Amino acid sequence: MKKIISIPLLLLAVMSSALAFEFPNEVKIGGFAIGTQLWSFHKFTFAEGAFKAKDAGAGIIEAFPGQQICPKDKARFDHNADPVVWAHAKNIMEHAGVMVVNYGVVGCKSDEEMERVFAFAKVMGIPAITVEPRDRSPEALDKIEAMIKKYNIKVGIHNHPKRADNPGYVYWSPDSVLAMVKGRDPRFGLTCDTGHWLRSGVKPLEALKKAEGRIISLHLKDLNEFGVRDAHDVPFGTGVADIGAILKELKRQNFMGNISIEYESNWENNVPEIKQCIDFVRKAGSPF
């Protein structure tokens, strides 16, 4: 008989602590909590991705919704999964030697699903969520802010590239997102995707300066071209992003969130490039 685990019971074990999350020193590289977005390994399972992240030199991961849990189990790891799958994911991460520190990108279809996402994150010990809200009205943002306060979980609004076929898509613009979170809880801010900023003609260094105090996390990328939607990822320091200057700016801001390397090139064998990115950050020095 399948054992059913109650989400409320699981939450009782974790809701008692409202302390601010702190990254263990052993997962920091060059002073930053930097790891991989498992979308880099979306052609593989969650288990395979976790071990690939470790092979690349990362101690932390950002999960995304719907990744198959392991080669022998077709279950999908996300906020809608049976809690047994969540427990399986924790066991995988323990064996791989990584911890999950962010989850996204999420777009909730209902208030009930939003609550489920936050409850899932709390049970999994995930301190931050990455979202692209389907509804960006003040009332919808109020609901997200209420969940942030209830669960003590940070939320960053993510940016994809500017879309000529969808002028209503505004998340590509840091100015638009900053306007949405202005005056709100400080745990509500931006997940800055530097690659998609580059594709949109936004200079990451300038955008990060504008977003100071509102940066929740980053999807850190370097690309081969600026302002070109089809530009592709390259190892840090070999493209147009000026990753060295970005790291210096984050140091100046005393940024304490997580950085995810989301490497969207060479899908079948990108661990060497991701390792090169991690080594670049390590060689950049200890910023804190």
pLDDT in tens, 76-97: 999 999 999 999 999 999 999 9
Per-residue pLDDT band at 21 (split at 50, 70, 90): confident
User: Mean pLDDT over residues 35-58, rounded?
Assistant: 98
pLDDT tops 60 at residue 31: yes
Q: Can you give the residue ranges of every domain in the chain?
A: 24-283
Task: Please tell me the distance from the alpha carbon of residue 282 to that of residue 7, in angstroms, as a whole number.
Answer: 39
Beta bridge partners of 125: none
pLDDT tops 50 at residue 233: yes
Contacts of 246 (CB under 8 A, 6+ apart): 194, 204, 205, 208, 220
Residue of 55, 57, 52 whose CA lies nearest to 40:
52
Task: Please tell me the distance from the alpha carbon of residue 177 to that of residue 175, in angstroms, as a whole number.
Answer: 6
Residue of 187, 113, 119 whose CA lies nearest to 148:
187
Per-residue pLDDT band at 3 (split at 50, 70, 90): very low
**pLDDT tens column, 61-74:** 999 999 999 999 99
User: Mean pLDDT over residues 6-26, rounded?
Assistant: 59
Residue of 225, 190, 230, 187 whose CA lies nearest to 210:
190
User: Mean pLDDT over residues 202-225, rounded?
Assistant: 98
DSSP class of 213: T
Residue 129 near residue 102, CB atoms below 8 Å: yes
Beta bridge partners of 215: 190
Distance between alpha carbon 112 and the CA centroid of its chain, in Å?
22
pLDDT tops 90 at residue 170: yes
User: Mean pLDDT over residues 129-149, rounded?
Assistant: 97
Classified by CATH at the fold level, domain 24-283 comes out as: TIM Barrel (3.20.20)
Contacts of 69 (CB under 8 A, 6+ apart): 45, 46, 47, 75, 76, 77, 85, 88, 89, 92
Token pair of 270 as six digits: 């990108």
pLDDT tops 70 at residue 18: no
